[in-house]
Structure 1
Amino acid sequence: MKKNIFAIILISILFSCKDNKETKAVNNTVIVKDTVVETAENEVVVEEEEFKKDFAILLPRTYRTYNDVNEAASLNEKWLELYEENGQYYLGKAKFKIENGYDECVGDSTKSISPENKALIFIENPELKTGKIKSLKIDKNKIWPGEKHSFTFNSQTYTLRGEGKVLSEEKVSTDDDKTEIYKKVENYKLYLTAGSTEKLLLKEASFNDTFVELLFAGDIDGDGKLDFIFGANRDYEEERVILFLSSKAENGNAVKKVSEIAVQFDC
């Protein structure tokens, strides 16, 4: 009888210990959950306005077909092209060929735009005036955080300024067999100042082996002021280009973002 009583007491103690451990575990879980909730509630989320382009742009490259739609199919002779010839830029009627192909990665058809000239971009805006484009020679195409670069166009000074956090630096080889310093950057912002007005052109939280590059600075729309084309790839398997025009600028700003294209070629 005494043995039975001792066994019952022992079992009760064991279950009591187990219940205490489970209670502690549950309490710990609640604490962690509450902490996460509090952190989420304290976060400030800033939503950007959805960008609506004024007109389309295309690049001289290969485009994949998605849901029976291919961007390259929209290109026709009514489009214009910004192209380079002997160090000078021109705006003229688009001259190109469309070549059909197949992409093994996505298992679907492709269309490639092959320009007759050395085209930088194609522009779906026939209102722009064709002819020679006054442009600047770009001697610095990357504005890293903490850097500024100024240039003058038609007696107006323009300054690009970069902000952000540099995580690391390394020497890398370029396509023309040169070496340059590549910086891994997060929370990047690029500003443009013209006169007394500074404008935020673009911002990116991070880059994957890429960075923002100035591809063109010149007067595309013929108003005597600078327009800009930036390459802003966020990933090494993306080609993204953004066009800014001065003639569309509002509220005292020097330029306005009017079009953007981003092409993915991951596998």
Structure 2
Amino acid sequence: MKKIIVLVLACVLVIACKETSKTENGNNIQITGDTLVGKDNIASPDSIHNMEWIDEELYPKSKDLPLFVLSTGIFHGDETSPEMINKGWFGIFQDRGRYYIAPTTLSIQKTFDVISDEEGDENNSSKWTGWEVKTSHIDTSLVLISSSPRLSSHEINTIPLDKDFIDPNEKMTFAYNGSSYTLYSTGDLKPAEYNKDEMIISKYKLYIKGYKDGKELNQLLASTSTFEDAIFRVLLIGDIDNDGFPDLVLNTSYHYNLYRPTVYLSSFADKNQLVKVVALHESVGC
């Protein structure tokens, strides 16, 4: 019984290490929408590469993206490596309600993985399999992005969010730098078989709509066939790459035990895109 309690507490601690802050503050902006609250749950230990709940219809995928993303915290052995340090990094940091992007130095060191490592090995670092990611900044980091010539140090004018995700078939409108944008979603809602008071979301798609060069564009940001006690969440809207257009950081997780920070930048966008997904990182809590 004691072992079960310890395992549950350990899972909670690992998940807590990977939580991120929500956006606050901003100037000359408007936003409308409602808020939905998800659940915190515990799952059995496993690797992101062989989880039974991996969604084959998920968009975006993690392959062939131009940049890399990480978060601070503790990760399983196959979720990062010390070689990632050599890529050079920027961080989006929060300081007293404001967000800014700046170069940062990463530290990725071996640590005890409370889920994967044997309990008796806690004091034997040679058997540790986890990785702890830290930055040289004392401010809280929302996300870490590998270096690119399109990134530079500056304060990010962010959209203050009254909600952090969009209900199926709902929308959220915001203004940025004199232009109007809309986040909206489509999806199916039906009562759960085991509980008619609980609604199940399926075939969910999240879009952004806005004008570019005088042309209205509707762009798919993320999609999934189903959620498992999760929902795509908006972590930040603001000009990350300093080109005058809004960028996004989303958590495109479709499962409660998965954290999937995903970065979309406007400076990488094609002719018929408002933003382009440039990086994402997948990690599990337990």
TM-score normalised by L of structure 1? 0.71
Q: Residue 94 of structure 1 is aligned with which of 101, 104, 107?
A: 104
CA–CA distance in 2 between the matches of 1:250 and 1:117?
33
Task: Report the alpha carbon displacement of residue 95 of structure 1 after superposing the two structures with TM.
Answer: 4.8
Q: 1:1-267 to 2 correspondence within 5 Å?
A: 51-66=63-78, 70-71=80-81, 73-75=83-85, 78-95=88-105, 97-107=107-117, 109-115=129-135, 116-127=138-149, 128-168=151-191, 184-195=200-211, 196-266=216-286
Secondary structure of residue in 1 paired with 2:190: strand
- Report the number of matched residues: 209
TM-score normalised by L of structure 2? 0.66
1:101-153 deviation digits (Å, cap 9, x = unpaired): 22243235111123422101111124211121122111221101110110000
CA–CA distance in 2 between the matches of 1:146 and 1:205?
15
CA–CA distance in 1 between the matches of 2:60 and 2:237?
26
Structure with bigger strand share is: 1
Secondary structure of residue in 1 paired with 2:260: strand
Name whichever of 124-133 and 235-244 sits farther off: 124-133
Say if 2:171 and 2:185, in contact at 8 Å, map to a contact too: yes
CA–CA distance in 2 between the matches of 1:156 and 1:237?
37
The amino acid that maps onto 2:190 is L
Structure with bigger helix share is: 1
The amino acid that maps onto 1:62 is I
The gaps in structure 1 that reach 5 residues or longer are 1-44, 170-180
The gaps in structure 2 that reach 5 residues or longer are 1-55, 118-127
Secondary structure of residue in 1 paired with 2:66: coil
Point out which structure has higher relative CO (alpha carbons under 8 A, 6+ apart).
2
CA–CA distance in 2 between the matches of 1:204 and 1:184?
13
RMSD over aligned Cα, in angstroms? 2.7
CA–CA distance in 2 between the matches of 1:77 and 1:46?
30
Task: Report the alpha carbon displacement of residue 99 of structure 1 after superposing the two structures with TM.
Answer: 4.8
Secondary structure of residue in 2 paired with 1:103: coil
